[in-house]
Amino acid sequence: MANIWFDLWHNSFWHGIAGRGITILAEVLIVIVVLLIFVAYATYFERKVLALAQLRMGPNVVGPFGLLQPFADGLKLMVKETIIPAGANRVLFLMAPMLTFTLALVGWAVVPFDDGWVVANINVGILYLFAISSLGVYGIIVAGWASNSKYSFLGGLRSAAQMVSYEVSIGFVIVSVLLTVGSLNLSNIVLAHQPFWMWLLMSPMLVVFFISGLAETNRPPFDLPEGESELVGGFNTEYSAMTFALFMLGEYANMFMISALTTMLFLGGWLPPFGIMVAPLTWIPGILWFIGKICAVMFLFLWVRATLPRFRYDQLMRLGWKIFLPFSLLWVMVIAGVLLATGTLPNPQ
């Protein structure tokens, strides 16, 4: 009798594990496929936004309104030959773009798209994302070194210094969020009810986080690792075909990640704007609010590229170390002081 009960438990146990594994795999595939579609069309909308800013047409030939242009670009890169320089380290040369692309995807495992819509709802989700974003620099450094090109190597070194500089400011932003919310779980951060004056108190950190996100993703005006005037193409000078495409996919996926983080930390995630729960707004699904806010932040990425010229390297370092670092440290102390004075610190024990 005991053996029968053990067999029943054993079978149900392993069936439960298999069923949970299939569910997680399906969720991961859905997230990756949807993200890749958004990344593909981000290139299309970037070219359209830049064209509008510069009074041009943009893509308008391949498909209606040029909507099939991303698929044409992807097909072109797939059929081109991958050229590896003779003096390059072949293993690291090919591993670098795959590392960059993989790290750009794995961070989405802890992103809540709606209430309960998350692959892994871990309690330290924001630290997980911070760790993943910190590892992203390795793909660029390895690519610059493995290419056996001086220009590529200089581009990789630039990117390393740039990312380290602005990760310090992003770390202080995370500390300020922890002070006001009392949790590192991304779902709890979105659902935390805060008074309106708290939004005003955190608004300077929103500006610091967004500008630091531009530098983290090597986007204009901080695209110094790819400064064509002095480094040709930077760390990806020697890359072509699908290896080049993986770098571009990783860059745009990181832009979406920074936009999603901005949405979750400062813009209310999947909730209606400013927490307004009137009848017309509550009918809109939370995931649509989340996607809409991400697209709005992405538009700011593109708008900045169309508006501002590239910074010099010394200007970039001065902004990171002499302005953002002391200001973010000072503002963390201001936030802590205000929370102590008003008695609104979460978990005061």
Least confident among 114-118, 189-193, 299-303, 344-348: 344-348
pLDDT at residue 328, as a whole number: 92
pLDDT at residue 349, as a whole number: 41
pTM of the prediction? 0.88
- Do residues 99 and 109 both lie within one domain? yes
- Do residues 123 and 240 both lie within one domain? yes
Where is the domain boundary, 78, 105, 137?
78
Q: 236 lies in a domain?
A: yes
For range 294-304, the mean pLDDT: 93
**High-pLDDT (> 90) share of the chain, %:** 24
Number of domains in the chain: 2
Mark residue 220 as left, alpha or beta (left: phi above 0; alpha: psi -120 to 50; beta: remaining): beta
303 compared with 12, residue with greater pLDDT: 303
Most confident of 3-17, 19-33, 89-103: 89-103
pLDDT tens digits, one per residue of 43-74: 999 999 999 998 888 888 888 888 999 999 98
Q: 217 lies in a domain?
A: yes
pLDDT at residue 15, as a whole number: 52
Q: Kind and range of the H or E element at 42?
A: helix 2-53
pLDDT band at 296 (very low <50, low <70, confident <90, very high): very high
Reference 194, options 266, 248, 263; nearest CA is: 266
pLDDT band at 8 (very low <50, low <70, confident <90, very high): very low
- Do residues 129 and 10 both lie within one domain? no
pLDDT at residue 93, as a whole number: 92
Q: Distance between CA atoms of 147 and 23, rounded to whole angstroms?
A: 40
Q: In the predicted model, is pLDDT for residue 347 greater than 90?
A: no
Tokens of residue 328, six digits: 């973010």
Where is the domain boundary, 31, 60, 78?
78
Q: 55 lies in a domain?
A: yes
**High-pLDDT (> 70) share of the chain, %:** 88
231 compared with 116, residue with greater pLDDT: 116
pLDDT at residue 117, as a whole number: 85
- Do residues 248 and 313 both lie within one domain? yes
Q: In the predicted model, is pLDDT for residue 11 greater than 60?
A: no
Task: To the nearest 10°, report the CA torsion of 216, 217, 220, 224.
Answer: 70
- Do residues 50 and 173 both lie within one domain? no
Mark residue 343 as left, alpha or beta (left: phi above 0; alpha: psi -120 to 50; beta: remaining): left
Q: Are 302 and 49 in contact (CB under 8 A)?
A: yes
pLDDT at residue 48, as a whole number: 92
- Do residues 33 and 88 both lie within one domain? no
Reference 208, options 342, 49, 330; nearest CA is: 330
pLDDT band at 199 (very low <50, low <70, confident <90, very high): confident
Q: In the predicted model, is pLDDT for residue 348 greater than 80?
A: no
Q: 128 lies in a domain?
A: yes
Q: In the predicted model, is pLDDT for residue 251 greater than 80?
A: yes
Range of the domain at 217: 80-342
- Do residues 92 and 74 both lie within one domain? no
Q: In the predicted model, is pLDDT for residue 168 greater than 90?
A: no
Least confident among 9-13, 106-110, 298-302: 9-13
Q: In the predicted model, is pLDDT for residue 196 greater than 70?
A: yes
> In the predicted model, what is the mean pLDDT of the chain?
84
Q: 348 lies in a domain?
A: no
pLDDT band at 4 (very low <50, low <70, confident <90, very high): low
Q: 347 lies in a domain?
A: no
- Do residues 247 and 168 both lie within one domain? yes
Where is the domain boundary, 59, 78, 97?
78
Distance of CA 291 to the CA centre of its chain: 14
pLDDT at residue 50, as a whole number: 92
Q: In the predicted model, is pLDDT for residue 16 greater than 80?
A: no
Determine the residue type at 168. Answer: V
Q: 90 lies in a domain?
A: yes
- Do residues 52 and 199 both lie within one domain? no
pLDDT tens digits, one per residue of 19-30: 667 787 888 888
pLDDT band at 228 (very low <50, low <70, confident <90, very high): low
pLDDT at residue 31, as a whole number: 86
Q: 84 lies in a domain?
A: yes
Evaluated on CA atoms 240, 242, 245, 247, the torsion sign reads negative
- Do residues 217 and 273 both lie within one domain? yes
Note the residue count of the chain: 349
- Do residues 47 and 97 both lie within one domain? no
Question: What is the distance between the terminal CA atoms of the chain, rounded to a whole angstrom?
Answer: 52
- Do residues 20 and 92 both lie within one domain? no
